[in-house]
Structure 1
Amino acid sequence: MRRILLCLLFFVIPLRVSADGILQFRHVKLPAGIGDAIVNNATIDSHGLLWFFNTSGLHRYDGNHLLTFDLVSTPSVIFNAITTIVIDQSDNLWIGTQSGLVFFDTHRWTTRLITPLNDPGEGGTHFIKRICIGSDGTIYTTGNNYKIYRVEKEHLVQIADLSDQPRADPFARAIDYIGEPVKNQLWVVHSGRLQCLERSGNAYTPGAYLAMPELKNSITPEVYFHPSGKIVFFAGKAGIQVFNPRTRQLTKVKQVNGDTLSIAGYIRFFLLPNGELGIYIRRLGVFQYDAAQDKVFVPENNIPANFFNADVTSVVTRDNKVYCSFESGVAELELTKDPFRNLLTTNDDPTAHSIRAIYKSSDSCLYVTSYKEGFIRLNEATGHFTPIVNGVIYRVLPWDDHRLLLATEGNGLHWYDLKTGVVTPQVANIPASKGQPDRVPRFFISIVRENDSLVWLGTYRGAFLLNIHTGIMSPQGKGKAALALQNSRINEILPLNGHCYFATINGLFDLDRSDDSVQALPVSQTTPDNLNTCYSIRLVNNQLWLGSNGRGIQIIDLHGKLIREIDAGNGLTGNIVYTLVQQGHWMIAGTEHGLSIIDTRNGQITSYSQLDHLPSNEFNHAAAAVYGDRVYMGTLNGITTFRVEDMLRYKHADMDLKVSLTNFSTTSGMTLTQHHNLPYLSDVKLEVPPGVDFFSLSFGGTDKRTDLLNYYYRIEEDGPWLEIGQQHDISIARITPGQYTFHLATRFPGQAVFKELLSVPLAVLPAFYETVWFRLLCILIVLLGIVAIFRYKVRQLLKEQSLRTKIAGDLHDEVGSTLTRIYFQADRLSALPEAPLMAKQIASSSREALRTMSDMVWSIDSRFDTAADLVSRMKDFISNLGDELDIRFVFNVTGAYAGMPLTQIIRQNYFQIFKEAVSNATRNASEPVINIKLHFSEVIALLISNTFPESEEPVKKPYQGGQGTYFMQQRSQLMKGELETWQEGQVYYLKLTVPVR
C-alpha cells in the first residue's frame, strides 16, 4: 500500500468541493535557484505574482524570473532572519523578522524599518512572530514578549501587554495567534487558550479566557472565525473543535458518516475558493467544513497523495486560488468549472503516465495501461490504482464477460481474466513459407475481432488474421499492394461490408475479402510521402474519416476519393490527428495541440486545450473509448474523461489572464538599469533615456496558462504583430526617439483574432542633439552664420567698391592729368611745320593711352556696375570708332536692362570682348556697315556680324581676329559664358552669351 501512495506522490487529482466546480491541484514550478530550503508563507499579490521566503531571503516569482531580496539587495530586507510576511490591500509587504518589522513599499521599491515608539527597553528592535491585518487595514504585530503593537505613522505603538495574564506555562513568551474578526476586537491564542481583547480608546483591554477546561490548554494557532459566528480551532489531540460564543457550547467536528475525524499529524485552516472553510490534514488531504452540521465533508476525490510526507507550513487563499507552502515547493489549488475530469495526471513529470489503452468494466473500474506503471486497475472514484502486469499493453480487446485479450509491445498476446486476475499467454505464430522459418511476433499495435475464432492483428510489419484456437497467424491479400501492406506498420483496422481497411504509416489500404485483392487508396495525390501516415479510421455516414499526420482529418468515400479536409486552418486544434472516437453525431479528435469536437451534421468545430485544464495538449494514438455518455481519452499526461453534452454547454476558460509587466531594463554602455515595480504603479509610463543602446521588457504571472500561449507584440498602433513564441522577454534595439505604445497580445487556440493583454505608453527620449530645440538652435546658428558671412561679404564688397572708386579717382586725377598735358604739348608741337615725326607719334600714343586709361578707370569704378552703364560705354566706343574710321554701326539693344546690376568681372570682360570683336570687324569688313545686336534676359547675348572681301575668304574665314580670339575665349570662360564664331557666305559672325548670375 505504501508503494502505491509513493507512486501517487505528486498526482494532480481533481477534488470536487461543490457542484460549482472542481479543485485542481498543481505544483508551481519554481526555478532551480530556490534550492532545497523550505518555502514559507507563499502568497500572491493582486497582479498574480508569487511572494515567499526561505533561509536565503525574500523572493518574488513571476513564473519566469525570480527576484531575491536579502541584506545586500536593492532594496534590502534590512534583517536576514524572516519569520513571516503578509501582503496588504495595496500590495505592499509587511515583513516580520527576528529583529524587527520591515515595510516593503512596492510602489516606490523601497524598504524601511518600523521602529517601536517610546519603548527604549526594546533597543529599537524586537522579535516579530505574527502579523495581522485588521478589518480597516491596520497592521498589528506580536512578538515573544506578550506585547501587541499597532503600526501608526511609521512606528510601532504598544496597545496591549498580556505579560501579567495567568498562563499554564510560566516560561512561555509568545502569542500564538492574533486576529481581528470583528472591528475593535482582537482575538489571541496564548498558553493554549483563546482570549478576546476589547478596544478602549487607543488601547485594548484583555477579557477573560474562554473557559474550555476539557481542552487542557491545547488550542493551537489554527483558528478560524466562521461567518456564522462560530469559532473553529484545532486543539491537538482533542481534534478539531467548534465553539459557539453565544451558547458557550463546544463541539468536536465529525465526518459526515458520523465517525469522529481522526487527526494524523497537524492541520491548516484556509478559505476555499467557494467561500467555505477548507481544512488541510496531513496524510488525509483537504476537507470542507459544514457549519450547519459541525461536520466535514470527505470529498469524492480526496488528494492525500499530493501532500504525502509534506509538511505544509502555510496556506493562503487569494483570487479563487489556494497556495500551500511546503518543503521546497509551492502547490496551487484552483477552483475550476471545466467539464474535464482528469486521472493519473502529474505535474512534476508530465509524460510519466502516457496512456496506451483504456477499458471500463461493468464494476466501473478502469483498466488502463501507461508507460510508467504498465497495466493497472484504476478506481475512478478515488484515483487509486492497483498494478496488474508490467510492460506496455498497446490495445485491450473485450472478448466476453470476464476476459480481455491484451496486445502488448514486446510480449505478444495475453488473456486477462477479470474475475481471477490471472494472466495467460495466447499462442500466435506465423507458419514457415517460401523459405521463411516460423515466426512468433511480439509487438502488436492494433487488434479487432472478426468473429468468435478470428482476430485481426496489426503489427510493425503487416496485418494478419489470427485463429485463437490454432494460434496460426496468416497474412492476407495478394498482389503488389498486398506486399506494401505487409511492409507497413498497421495503426488501425476497420472491417466493413466484405472489405477491410487498414490505416498505416504508408497510407490507407483496402482489402476486398471476396478475392483477397489489395489496393492502396489514393486519398490525396498531392500528399508528400512523409504525410501519408494514417493513424485512425472511422466510418461516418458511409464515408471514411482518417486521422492523418499533418493534414488533419481527411474525409473520403469508400473508393478513396477525397471529399474534404478538416485542419487547423478551419478550426481543428492541430494537423496531426492521433485518435478519432465517435459518439452519436459527434466526432472527437485528439491532436498534438488539443481536443476538437466536430458535429458531423453541420461541420461545426469546438476546440479545447490545456487552457481549459486538459492534462496535456497531445493525445496518444488509439487511446480512447466511449462508455455510455462518457468519453475517455488518453494523453501524454494521464486520462481525461468528459460528457460531450457538458463540454458543449461549457463556457471556455476565463481568458482574462493576469499578465503583468514585471521588469523594464535599459542598457547604455556598461550601465544596466532595471525597474521591477511596474505592476504596482497606478500610471505606468515607460521612458527610454537618451543614448540607450537597447531596452528589454519582461512580463509574466504564476497562472499556468501563461506558459501555454504564444505571444505577440508591437510598439506602433498600425504596425504588424511580431511573434515571440512562448518566451516572456522582449529585447528591442534602439529605435527612433518619439512616443509609442507597447502592446502585448496573444491568440487563443482556434481563434484568429488577437487578444490584447497589455498596453503601456512608451517614450523614447532623444539625446540633446536629437531634440527639436537643438535642431532649432543649429538652424539658428547656421542662419546667423549665413548672416555673418553675408554681412562680411557686404563689408568686403563695400571695401572693394570703395577701393575701386579710390583707385579709379586717383588714376584719373594723377595719371590722366599727366597724360593730358603730354598729349596737348605733343599735339601743339606736332602742329608746327618744323615738328619732327616723333612729336606726332607721341601725340598719337598719348591719345591712345588716354582712351585706354579711360576704359580701365570705367571698368574699375564701382559706380558703373550696371547694365545701363555697360550699354552706354559700348555706344560711346562705337561712336568714337565710327567717327575716326568713317564706319557705320547698326547697334540694336533689346530686353530690360535699365536696373540690371552687373559684377565688375562681367562688366570689365564683356566690354573688353566687345571692343576686341568690334575692332576685328572694322579691320576686316568689306562694307562700311557692321551690325551689332545686344539682348538682355537671364543671359546677355551679343551678336556681331560683318561682311569681308570675297578674295580674302580663305584667310578670313578661320582667322578673323587672329590671336585676339584666344584671349576673348579666356575672358568668356572667366564669366562662365560661351563665345562662338562662324561664317555664312561672305558674312562673319561672333556670338557671346554670358549668364547674368
Structure 2
Amino acid sequence: MMNIIEIPDTPDHRGASTGAFRRWIIIFLLLFCAAIFAKPYSANPLKFKKLAQESALTASVIYQVFQDRKGFIWLATQYGLAKYDGYTVTNFTHIPGDSTTISDNTVRAICEDANGNLWIGTADGLNLLAITPAQQRGQSGHRFIRFRHSPDDSLTLCNSDIRSLAAGADGALWVGTVEGLNRMFSDTLANGEVVHRIQRIHKPAVFANGYITEMVQDHLHKNIMWAGTLGKGLHRIDANDLAVLAFSKNDTTAMPISSDYIISLYQSPEGLLWIGTYRGGLNVFDPQTGHSVQYRFDENDPNSLPDDRIYGIAHDAENRLWIGTFGGGVACLSNPIRELPTGNQSRIDGHFIRYQSNSRDPQALTNDFVRHLMIDRSENMWVSTNRDVNVADLKPPKFLHISQNPFSDNTLGDNNVIAILEDRQKRLWIGHHTGLDMQTPDGVFHNYTIDHRNPRSQGGFVYALAEDRYGYIWIGTFGGGLQRIDPSTGDFLYVPHGEKNGHVYPDSRIADLMFDSRKNLWIASPLGLYLLNNQQLADVKLNPESLEFVRFTTDSSEGGMSDNRISTIYEDRNGRIWIGTANGLNRMNPGNTSVDLHIDYVPKNPEKGLSHPGVTSILQDPNDDQVFWLGSENGLNRLRFSGDRVSGVQHYFDREGLPNSFICDILDDTSGNLWITTNKGMLRLNPSDTLMQNIRTYDTGDGLQSGEFTIRSGFRNAAGELFFGGINGFNRFFPDRVQENVHIPQVALTEYKQLGVTVYDALELSRISHIEIPYDARYFEFTFAALDFTYPNGNRFAYFLDGFDKNWSESGTRRFASYTNIGPGKYVFRLKAANSDGVWNEAGLAIPIVIRPPFWQTWWFRLIAVLAILGVLALIYQYRVEKLLELERMRVRIASDLHDDVGSSLTKISLYSDLLREEVDAENRQTLLSRINNLSRELVLTMSDIVWSIDSRNDTIGDLLDRMHDFAMSALSPRQIAVSFDVESLDDAKKLPVDIRQNLYLVFKEAINNVARHSGATEVRVALHNRQGRFTMQVHDNGQGIELAKKSSGHGLRNMQMRANRIGGELTIANSDGTTIQLNTTML
C-alpha cells in the first residue's frame, strides 16, 4: 500500500533556495509556453473528473485511494479517513477525548485483510474499523480500535507512525512504520472472540535511518514480502523465517537499482518488480537475478518520463502501465517490458504519453504532484494529487469529442457545430456559427471566415455543406447565401441571392444542400426549393451570375410544395426527392420535377399523418425500401408505404423511451441500426424494433459533446464513421467500435431510515443479517448505490419487496426506495443495479425484513384473547345458568309460599265453606263467615306481598323501607300500638337482590304480625342499622313476652328462622321488657 513520503527537499515541504526557485520558474514558463503554443490538440485526451467538485470531500491532499472488496472507495487524507460510494462522501475524523474515533487525522495507508476488515495507518497509530450495528437510534454503529507503540511493551508496534500496510498471503497484516516492520495476526478463539497478536520485525542493521514506504506481496512466491524503504533500498523478507535480503544502488552487481529512496512498488504478472524511486526514476527489477533497468526523465525527450520522482504505479486491463510522478503529472507506458533486456544496459528508453495539469483546461489534472495511483474494478484510474482526487475512465471511449481549445491555434473555430462533411480527400469540413473549418487527415485545422457581404446579416453561420463531383465544397450560410470554396486554393465563389436582372437566385438563408445521384444541386431555403442543373457546374471558370436556378414554391406550376419553408432534402434509393418543410412532407418525382405526394400533420386524426408539421430529418429504412423514418420537432415518425400510398404511421416520443421528442437528425450505420440525435442526447435503434423495447440511449456521461445536438448536423463518411454536431463541438465514432462498459457493478445499501430517521448506515448494513421493524414504524426507506464509478449518475436500479410487491420496480437513476403501511410479517428486500451502459448485476443483494406485529396481533396474545373470550363466555354461561337456577329457586319459593300460605288459607276457606253448606245455627254460621272473611283478606295480603317481592320496580332499599313502614302502620295502628323507626347508614337508592328484599320483608312482616296479634304491646321500636360490615334489623315491643304467645306463634317463628337462613342471616329472639326479634346479616 503506497504512502506519501515527506522528503526534505520536495518543493512543498521546504523553503526553496534561490537556485531551486529559479529552476522552478524556468520549468513553469516552459510548461506555460508549451500549453499555449502546442500544435496538436488531442481528439481524445484523458478527461479527469474532480472528486471534490462532485462530492463533500473537504481534504485537498490525498495520500492513498483504496477500493475494498465490497466496492467502496476509501481515501487516506490529511484530514482523516473518507468513504465514497459514487454519490456521497462520509468522513471519519479524530475527536479528542473520544477513544472510539480514529487515532489521528493524518491518514497515510489503508488495507483490507483476508477477513474483510479495514485497517488504517495514521501518524499516531494503527486503527481497525470495527462495525457493530447500533442497538438504539442515535448510537454509532462503528468504532475504531487503536494500536500504538508502547516503550514498555514489546508486544506493541515498534512505532506509532504508520507509513504502509500490506495483506500477507498467510493472512497476516504487515505494518510498515518509520522505525521498522511489524506483523499482526488475528486469532479467533473458541468463543468467537478475536485476539490480535503483534510481532516486531525490528532490525536496526536493516531499517536504521530509513523507514518502510511501500510493501507488496509477491504473487509468485507466497512466502515473500517486498518492502521499499527510504534510504535503505529494497528488501526481500521471507515470511517463514523472517530472513531479510537487501538490494541497494551500491550493490556490486552490474545493474543495481538507481536509488535507495523507494517510494512505490508494483509487481507485474511476469514477476518483475517495478520500483518508483525518489529522483532515481522508474526501475524494473528482476528478483531472479537482482538486476534492474531504469526509465529516466530526459528534458530533451518529450516521450521520456516527465519526472524522476515516482509516487504511484498502476497496471490496467489493456496492459498499459500508468506512472504517477511528483511534479510531472501522470505518464502512460503503453507497452511495458516483460523481461529485462540482455546485456549490461542499465537505462532504456520508453515512449511515455504525458497527462499534466492545465489551469485553462477543466478536464486536465488539477495538479502535477501526484501522490498515488489506483485503478478500480471498472477501469477508472484514481489519481491522488496535492489538490483533489482526479478520476479518469481508461476504457476505450465510445465517442470522440472534438471541441474548441481557446488556448491553441490548432483548434475548432467555434463550438456551435451545424454542418459536417468529409470530402473525397478525407478532409473534414465543419460549419459553425462563426465560419468554416477544415481539418486535414493529420489533424491540422484551417479556419475560414465567411464573407457574407452584408454587415447586417449573420452570414458567418454555415448551415449546410456539400461536395460536387469536381471536389469543390458548396456552402449554405444563413444570411450570406450560397458560396463555394476551392479546397486547393481556399478561394471563395459567391452566388448572388434573390432576383436580379431577370435571374432567380437562391435566398440568402440556406437551410440545406444536397447533390443528388444525377449530380444536380438542391438548395433548401425559407423561400422555397431551388435546383441547379449539373451541366452548369461543368464550367471550370464558373460565373455565378450566369447560373440558372429553378425555384419550386407552393404556387409554382412545377412545384406545388406544401410550404415554402424548406428545412431538409433527401434522395431515396429509387432516386425520388423528399422535401421536409415547416408544414409537412413532400415527395418529388425527379423525372418531371413535380410534387406527387403530400403528408401532413392532422391534429384531429394524428394516426393518419405526422406527429408534428415541422420536419427536421428524413431517412429511408436501410432494410426496407417501403419504410421511411422522419424526425420532427415533436416526435419520431415511421411511415410504411404500400406503393404510393401510406399504409401505416407510427409515432414515438419521450414516453416511448426517446431521450427527447425533438429529433435533430437520423443516420444509419453499416449494420442497419439507426442513430438519432435529439435535444437531450442520442439513441441507437434497431429499425425492426418497432415497439422500442431495446433502444440504447447515450448522454454526456458516455462522452457526447453535450445533451443538445443541432438539426441536420449528421454525416456518414465512406468508411462508415458517423459525425454529429452540437452546441459544444461534435462527436465522431465508428458504430461497430462503440464498446459498452461490461463491468458488473457491485450493489450496496448505503442507508436505512425509519420515519425519516437514519437507523443504519452503509457500514452497518454491510454486516447485519436482517432488519426488524416495529409495527408503529410503518414508513421506512432504503438508499442504495451501484459501485461502478464510470458514470455514477447514469447507474440504474430495480428493487422488489418480496412478500409485498408483485413485480420489480425500476427506479431508473433514483437511488432510494420507500414503503409505507406495510403489514406485519416477513419480507425480503431485493435490489439489483446496472451500470450506465445497462449491464445488470442480476444477483444483486437481498436482506430479510421482519415487521414485528403489535402485541395484540401476536400468537400468544391471540391465544390469551381466545382463552379470555372462552372464559368470558363460560362466565356468561355460568351467570345465565345461575340466573336460571335463581329463577327456578324463585319459582320454587313462590310455589312454596303459595302452597304454605295461600294453599293453607284456601284449604281453610274450603273447609269453612263445606261447614256452611251443612245446616248450622245462625251463631256458628256468623262465626264461619267471619273466619272466611279474615282468611280472604290475609290471602289478598299474602298475594300482594308475593307480587311486590318479585316486581323489579321495587328493588331499592328505599322501596323496602316504604313497604315496611306502610305495613307496620296498617297492622299496628288499628290496635293502638305506636311504632317508631330508627334507620342508620342505609342508601335508599341502592338496589337489593329480590331474594334479600323478599326475605327481609317477610321476616319483618312476621315479627310485626306477632306483635299485633299476640304481644299486647302498646309500643314498637324498629331499628335498621347498616354499619361495621353488618346489617341489623331489630323489632322490639313492650308487650307480654314471647312465652305467653308461644302457642300461637310457633309456626310464624319457624317461618322467620327459615327466611333468615335463606339470606345467610342469624335470627335471635329475646324476652326482656317485652320481646326483641333481631336479624343480623351481611351489610346491605
Q: What are the Cα deviations for residues 482-511 of structure 1, in whole angstroms up to 9, with x where unaligned?
A: 787555351334499886421234221234
Q: Is the 2:61–2:77 contact (alpha carbons within 8 Å) kept by the matching residues of 1? A: yes
Paired with 2:242 and 2:306, the residues of 1 have a C-alpha distance of 40
Paired with 1:824 and 1:752, the residues of 2 have a C-alpha distance of 117
Work out which of the residue numbers 143, 160, 176 in structure 1 matches 2:201. 160
Evaluate the alpha carbon distance shift between residue 51 and residue 786 of structure 1 in structure 2; reply closer, same or farther with a 3 A threshold. Answer: same
In the alignment, what sits opposite 1:135?
169
In the alignment, what sits opposite 1:762?
849
The question of 1:548 aligning with 2:617 is answered no
Shift of 1:583: 5.3
Paired with 2:843 and 2:224, the residues of 1 have a C-alpha distance of 46
Shift of 1:737: 0.7
Equivalent residues in 2 for 1:302-313, closer than 5 Å: 307-308=364-365, 310-311=367-368, 312-313=370-371
Q: What are the Cα deviations for residues 443-489 of structure 1, in whole angstroms up to 9, with x where unaligned?
A: 54311236999743334564445798128987423429978755535
In the alignment, what sits opposite 1:492?
569
Equivalent residues in 2 for 1:398-413, closer than 5 Å: 398-399=467-468, 403-408=472-477
Work out which of the residue numbers 783, 793, 797 in structure 2 matches 1:698. 783
Work out which of the residue numbers 246, 250, 263 in structure 1 matches 2:305. 263
The question of 1:780 aligning with 2:867 is answered yes
In the alignment, what sits opposite 2:523?
457
The question of 1:95 aligning with 2:120 is answered yes
Shift of 1:696: 0.3
Shift of 1:221: 0.7
Q: What are the Cα deviations for residues 561-605 of structure 1, in whole angstroms up to 9, with x where unaligned?
A: 245658689999677654333456835332546443647899999
| SS, match of residue 789 in structure 1 | helix
Paired with 2:294 and 2:616, the residues of 1 have a C-alpha distance of 58
Work out which of the residue numbers 864, 868, 892 in structure 2 matches 1:805. 892
In the alignment, what sits opposite 2:911?
824
Q: What are the Cα deviations for residues 682-734 of structure 1, in whole angstroms up to 9, with x where unaligned?
A: x7423323321411011112424664365443324561444534210112113
Q: Is the 2:417–2:432 contact (alpha carbons within 8 Å) kept by the matching residues of 1? A: yes
Paired with 1:645 and 1:94, the residues of 2 have a C-alpha distance of 45
| SS, match of residue 162 in structure 2 | coil
| SS, match of residue 561 in structure 1 | strand
Evaluate the alpha carbon distance shift between residue 583 and residue 131 of structure 1 in structure 2; reply closer, same or farther with a 3 A threshold. Answer: closer
Q: Is the 2:746–2:841 contact (alpha carbons within 8 Å) kept by the matching residues of 1? A: no
| SS, match of residue 722 in structure 2 | strand
Q: After alignment, is 585-594 or 129-138 more displaced?
A: 585-594
Q: Is the 1:822–1:843 contact (alpha carbons within 8 Å) kept by the matching residues of 2? A: yes
Shift of 1:839: 6.1
Work out which of the residue numbers 619, 623, 630 in structure 2 matches 1:538. 619
Amino acid at match of 1:243: F
Q: After alignment, is 736-745 or 584-593 more displaced?
A: 584-593
Work out which of the residue numbers 536, 547, 553 in structure 2 matches 1:477. 553
Q: What are the Cα deviations for residues 813-853 of structure 1, in whole angstroms up to 9, with x where unaligned?
A: 23432443344335424644555699669859968997998
In the alignment, what sits opposite 2:338?
291
Shift of 1:736: 0.6
Equivalent residues in 2 for 1:58-207, closer than 5 Å: 58-71=81-94, 76-106=101-131, 109-116=141-148, 119-120=151-152, 126-144=160-178, 146-153=179-186, 157=198, 159-161=200-202, 163-165=204-206, 174-181=211-218, 182-199=221-238, 203=242, 205=244, 207=246
Shift of 1:777: 1.9
Q: Is the 1:490–1:503 contact (alpha carbons within 8 Å) kept by the matching residues of 2? A: yes
In the alignment, what sits opposite 2:1063?
none
Amino acid at match of 1:151: M
Equivalenced residues, count: 831
The question of 1:660 aligning with 2:748 is answered yes
Evaluate the alpha carbon distance shift between residue 657 and residue 130 of structure 1 in structure 2; reply closer, same or farther with a 3 A threshold. Answer: closer
Q: What are the Cα deviations for residues 729-757 of structure 1, in whole angstroms up to 9, with x where unaligned?
A: 11211311111222345799999999674
Work out which of the residue numbers 467, 492, 498 in structure 2 matches 1:430. 498
Q: What are the Cα deviations for residues 610-666 of structure 1, in whole angstroms up to 9, with x where unaligned?
A: 49985348765433333333321326576555556667xx8x653743222222222
Q: After alignment, is 100-109 or 658-667 more displaced?
A: 100-109
Q: Is the 1:611–1:653 contact (alpha carbons within 8 Å) kept by the matching residues of 2? A: no
In the alignment, what sits opposite 1:510?
587
Q: What are the Cα deviations for residues 510-569 of structure 1, in whole angstroms up to 9, with x where unaligned?
A: 346677655661267543775233322234675462323324433446846245658689
Paired with 2:292 and 2:810, the residues of 1 have a C-alpha distance of 62
| SS, match of residue 777 in structure 1 | helix
| SS, match of residue 492 in structure 1 | strand
| SS, match of residue 129 in structure 1 | strand
Equivalent residues in 2 for 1:880-919, closer than 5 Å: none
Amino acid at match of 1:251: V
Q: After alignment, is 731-740 or 52-61 more displaced?
A: 52-61
Q: Which runs of 5+ in 1 are unaligned?
A: 16-22, 347-351, 862-903, 905-997
Paired with 1:457 and 1:241, the residues of 2 have a C-alpha distance of 64
In the alignment, what sits opposite 1:225?
267
Q: Is the 1:218–1:235 contact (alpha carbons within 8 Å) kept by the matching residues of 2? A: yes
In the alignment, what sits opposite 2:578?
501
Paired with 1:39 and 1:793, the residues of 2 have a C-alpha distance of 85
Higher strand share goes to which structure?
1
Q: Is the 1:24–1:336 contact (alpha carbons within 8 Å) kept by the matching residues of 2? A: no
Q: After alignment, is 720-729 or 398-407 more displaced?
A: 398-407
Evaluate the alpha carbon distance shift between residue 423 and residue 716 of structure 1 in structure 2; reply closer, same or farther with a 3 A threshold. Answer: farther
Evaluate the alpha carbon distance shift between residue 564 and residue 655 of structure 1 in structure 2; reply closer, same or farther with a 3 A threshold. Answer: farther
Shift of 1:766: 1.4
The question of 1:43 aligning with 2:66 is answered yes
Paired with 2:835 and 2:66, the residues of 1 have a C-alpha distance of 28
Q: Is the 1:273–1:322 contact (alpha carbons within 8 Å) kept by the matching residues of 2? A: no
Q: Is the 2:120–2:126 contact (alpha carbons within 8 Å) kept by the matching residues of 1? A: yes
In the alignment, what sits opposite 1:19?
none
Q: What are the Cα deviations for residues 301-335 of structure 1, in whole angstroms up to 9, with x where unaligned?
A: 98998544533332113425243134555444556
Equivalent residues in 2 for 1:704-723, closer than 5 Å: 704=790, 707-708=793-794, 711-716=797-802, 719-723=806-810
Evaluate the alpha carbon distance shift between residue 56 and residue 330 of structure 1 in structure 2; reply closer, same or farther with a 3 A threshold. Answer: same
Evaluate the alpha carbon distance shift between residue 330 and residue 523 of structure 1 in structure 2; reply closer, same or farther with a 3 A threshold. Answer: farther
Q: Is the 1:598–1:605 contact (alpha carbons within 8 Å) kept by the matching residues of 2? A: no
Paired with 1:707 and 1:480, the residues of 2 have a C-alpha distance of 54
Q: Is the 2:554–2:562 contact (alpha carbons within 8 Å) kept by the matching residues of 1? A: no
Evaluate the alpha carbon distance shift between residue 643 and residue 263 of structure 1 in structure 2; reply closer, same or farther with a 3 A threshold. Answer: closer
The question of 1:319 aligning with 2:377 is answered yes
Shift of 1:292: 3.7
Q: What are the Cα deviations for residues 833-880 of structure 1, in whole angstroms up to 9, with x where unaligned?
A: 55569966985996899799899999999xxxxxxxxxxxxxxxxxxx
Q: What are the Cα deviations for residues 770-792 of structure 1, in whole angstroms up to 9, with x where unaligned?
A: 32222222222222222233333
In the alignment, what sits opposite 2:1079?
none
Work out which of the residue numbers 564, 580, 585 in structure 1 matches 2:666. 580
Evaluate the alpha carbon distance shift between residue 319 and residue 110 of structure 1 in structure 2; reply closer, same or farther with a 3 A threshold. Answer: same
In the alignment, what sits opposite 1:959?
none
In the alignment, what sits opposite 1:977?
none
Amino acid at match of 2:172: T
What fraction of aligned residue pairs are identical, expressed as a percent?
Answer: 17
Work out which of the residue numbers 420, 438, 445 in structure 2 matches 1:358. 420
Shift of 1:96: 1.7
Paired with 2:880 and 2:911, the residues of 1 have a C-alpha distance of 44
